[in-house]
Structure 1
Amino acid sequence: MADSKSKKKNDKELSYSELVAKRDALKKEYMDLRFKMVVAHVDNPMQKRTMRREIARLNTFIQQKEAAGENK
């Protein structure tokens, strides 16, 4: 539980461009995982939910930065 709190805190301190880059990388990884789940067996199917939630968390931070005008 402490790990997720520190992860949120670290993500919140990233710059706008770093957040967007991290989100895009996670989206690509998520798409690869989805494809892999269709084609073959995946060791940890819960990873899909975790990644989806992480992407949503990053989107929230990006929206907050945009609202504050830090997206330049």
Structure 2
Amino acid sequence: MGRMSVAFLVLLVFLFVCSCTQGQLNFSTGWGKRGLGSGTPSLSSGDPNNCKASVDNLMIIYKLIQNEAQKLIECEKFSK
């Protein structure tokens, strides 16, 4: 089998595979946007507990960062 025959065979296999496949891609105008009825509460709902949870989470993250910074400072002290 020559080089030309192998190339022709590869081309035939490629065309056969392409003819057996089908795909569809759709984009909607509302893609990526959260709907009002999605069940997730919005921040503008007026619920005071909504902001409290966020503040509590921020305080936890702040304390974690402080602890890690303290560990880094202690490691620098030992390395000197």
TM-score, length of structure 1 as denominator length: 0.36
Higher relative contact order at CA 8 Å, sep ≥6: structure 1 or structure 2?
Answer: 1
Bigger Rg, structure 1 or 2: 2
TM superposition score normalised by structure 2: 0.33
The structure with the greater share of residues assigned to helix is 1
